[in-house]
């Protein structure tokens, strides 16, 4: 770990440096050649490429390549690079936004990996520690720096932490992956800090000093666990030493024998909270004894002038709906932040290029991805928002409905993942079309989100959705049928994270009907002013299960031919068991 961290915060995000190192690309090429000549084993090659953001897919001969976007930030030049990489080497023809604000490229051929990595590095983009047992991409609130009621802008602290830990002594040699999030900009846990290994939520003390509430040891998957509040108030200047200390602690106490029980939350469960905190304190004391990791407070950004209004553009008829769900006023007078819905989280090369032009013309030269698989363009002069909406509509990204039930979130599922059971991504696309065609249904449940995953690992974060869907299968007369377990009541409120509870299971083709019934149940039985999250976390799962029970009653006499075919497929459904690399 460097004792002299780089704090490269530049007011107004001008001239932001990249995170890439050419040495990473050179090392990748060298190791690939050694693998191809037999100098290293397949296991050694796999461990190396995972640390460098390259996963195997269920399809032979191709990789998934994950490009890190710290805090989801991408400049216009980087968007152009992503367009080139996606067009030339991503066999899927799209870059996929992940729930950790990265961009994933699927179906990249082994022979093309060097070219893709090199093009990314030239634009300051890196895949280093985007996968594997490492400190993963550090996520951040996409509204940091522009949110009306934020205590302060967390962006420089998140960036400094990325630069301090990236390529660090322990950062790529951990027992399992390690996730960090910075937020607190929007008045709640807007970045899911309490289900990360390390979460920072902005706050201030009585004197107005910037600091963070610090959470440790949260997570989803097979052990859903809310993180422990370790520091009620940590001065912002101590962010790096706390981050490094916890990474050291995890490096020491994590389980290296069973990768399925190796996350930090498992270590805490085994030791107990008091013993874990004692181990963490040892490392924090050691870091401080070495002189700490000094971090100066970020300079206040320069005030922006209120933009002068120009010639107004006639809004499209759909603009009123877009403005209601996709546009937020900034704390900077005269500017707005615009959420861009990205169905399936997929962006084509044409999308990337058009977005590069739009952030140059309308915004501050960059955009931010979100953990809902969308985009945020910031510093849009409010009078130009209708004009920007026209431009977004022209490229197919002008849909209203951001952060509504129609804004469905899904992992890639069996479209590419080795361990997925169902093609959750294809179901997500179908549900998006269904819900966009039913604005009446969506309007009844403001704030309800739908999240889905193709397996229990939960990459689609279905455990934290008000409605969560987990892919599985059943058999009818020996033939497999794709189905989804229905979870209810997941999400975040002032009381912390709530984890969804299983209410039932339905065949994949009947999921839209199940959603209709859940909406009806809410509208019939909610209390005055009760939100969908509050309702579905209060109501008994058995009552919800009874409402959808008949949808799950499928046998040889009632099953239709389509029930045996998964969404996005044309042949009979089958479960292909493969060894995954998530815990490699």
**CA–CA dist 318, 329 (Å, integer):** 19
Which CATH number does 139-289 carry?
A: 3.30.413.10
Q: In this predicted model, what pLDDT tens digit does every residue of 510-557 receive, in sequence order?
A: 999 999 999 999 999 999 999 999 999 999 999 999 999 999 999 999
Q: In this predicted model, what pLDDT tens digit does every residue of 379-415 receive, in sequence order?
A: 999 999 999 999 999 999 999 999 999 999 999 998 8
Starting at the earlier edge strand, list the strands of the sheet with 366-369. Answer: 73-75, 366-369, 375-381, 335-340, 327-329
Which CATH number does 319-394 carry?
A: 3.30.70.3340
- Whether 409-564 and 139-289 are alike in CATH topology: the answer is yes
Cβ neighbour number for residue 343 with a 10 Å cutoff: 18
| pTM recorded for the entire structure | 0.94
Closest CA to 513 of 540, 478, 550, 479: 550
DSSP characters over 157-214: HHHHHHHHHTT-TTTTS-SS-B-EEEE-SSSS-TT-GGGSSEEEEEEE-TT--EEEEE
pLDDT at 34: 96
Q: Is 328 helix (H, G, I), strand (E, B) or coil?
A: strand
Q: Is 377 helix (H, G, I), strand (E, B) or coil?
A: strand
Topology of domain 20-122, per CATH? Sulfite Reductase Hemoprotein; domain 2 (3.90.480)
Residues contacting 33, CB < 8 A, separation 6+: none
Q: In this predicted model, what pLDDT tens digit does every residue of 40-87 receive, in sequence order?
A: 999 999 999 999 999 989 888 899 999 999 999 999 999 999 999 999
**Locus of tokens 């706390």:** 242
pLDDT of 3 above 90 = no
| Average pLDDT of the residues in 480-499 | 94
Q: What are the sequence ranges of the domains in the chain?
A: 20-122, 139-289, 319-394, 409-564
| CATH class of the structural domain 409-564 | alpha beta
Residue pair 77/123 in contact by the 8 Å Cβ criterion: yes
């Amino acid at each position: 770990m460097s004792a002299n961290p780089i704090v490269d915060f530049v007011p107004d995000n001008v001239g932001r440096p990249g995170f890439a190192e050419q040495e990473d690309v050179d090392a990748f090429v060298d190791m690939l050649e050694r693998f191809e000549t037999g100098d290293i084993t397949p296991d050694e090659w796999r461990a190396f490429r995972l640390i460098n953001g390259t996963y195997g897919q269920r399809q032979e001969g191709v990789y998934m390549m994950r490009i890190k976007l710290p805090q989801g930030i991408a400049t216009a030049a980087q968007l152009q690079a992503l367009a080139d990489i996606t067009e030339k080497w991503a066999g899927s023809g799209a870059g996929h936004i992940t729930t950790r604000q990265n961009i994933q490229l699927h179906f990249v051929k082994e022979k093309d990996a060097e070219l893709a990595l090199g093009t990314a590095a030239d634009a300051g983009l890196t895949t280093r520690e985007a996968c594997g047992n490492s400190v993963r991409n550090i996520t951040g609130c996409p509204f940091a720096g522009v949110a009306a009621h934020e205590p302060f802008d967390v962006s420089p602290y998140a960036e400094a932490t990325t630069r301090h830990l990236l390529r660090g002594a322990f950062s790529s040699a951990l027992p399992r992956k390690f996730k960090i999030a910075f937020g607190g900009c929007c008045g709640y846990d807007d970045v899911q800090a309490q289900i990360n290994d390390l979460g920072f939520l902005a706050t201030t003390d009585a004197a107005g000093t910037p600091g963070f509430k610090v959470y440790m040891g949260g997570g989803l998957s097979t052990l859903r666990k809310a993180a422990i509040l370790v520091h009620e108030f940590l001065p912002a200047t101590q962010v790096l030493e706390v981050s490094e200390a916890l990474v050291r602690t995890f490096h020491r106490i994590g389980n290296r024998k069973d990768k399925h029980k190796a996350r930090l939350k498992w270590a805490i469960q085994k030791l107990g909270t008091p013993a874990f905190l004692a181990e963490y304190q040892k490392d924090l004391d050691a870091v401080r004894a070495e002189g700490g990791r000094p971090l100066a407070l970020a300079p206040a950004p320069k005030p922006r002038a209120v933009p002068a209004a120009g010639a107004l553009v006639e809004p499209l008829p759909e603009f009123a709906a877009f403005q209601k769900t996709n546009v937020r006023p900034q704390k900077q007078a005269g500017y707005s932040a615009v959420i861009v819905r990205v169905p399936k989280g997929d962006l084509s090369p044409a999308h990337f290029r058009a977005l590069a032009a739009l952030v140059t013309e309308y915004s501050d030269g960059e955009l931010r991805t979100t953990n809902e698989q969308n985009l945020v363009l910031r510093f849009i002069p409010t009078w130009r928002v209708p004009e920007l909406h026209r431009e977004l509509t022209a490229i197919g990204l002008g849909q209203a409905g951001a952060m509504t039930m129609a804004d469905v979130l899904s992992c890639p599922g069996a479209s590419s993942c080795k361990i997925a059971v169902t093609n959750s991504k294809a179901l997500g696309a179908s549900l998006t079309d269904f819900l966009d065609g039913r604005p009446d249904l969506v309007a009844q449940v403001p704030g309800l989100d739908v999240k889905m995953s193709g397996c229990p690992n939960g990459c689609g974060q279905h455990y934290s959705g008000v409605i969560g869907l987990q892919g599985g299968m059943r058999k009818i007369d020996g033939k497999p049928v794709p189905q989804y377990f229905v979870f209810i009541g997941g999400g975040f409120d002032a009381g912390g994270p709530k984890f969804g509870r299983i209410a039932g299971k339905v065949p994949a083709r009947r999921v839209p009907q199940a959603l209709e019934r859940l909406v009806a149940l809410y509208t019939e039985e909610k209390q005055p002013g009760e939100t969908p999250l509050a309702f579905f976390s209060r109501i008994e799962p058995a009552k919800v299960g009874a409402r959808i029970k008949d949808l799950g009653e499928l046998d040889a006499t009632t099953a239709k031919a389509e029930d045996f075919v998964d969404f996005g497929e044309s042949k009979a459904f089958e479960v292909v068991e493969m060894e995954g690399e998530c815990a490699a």
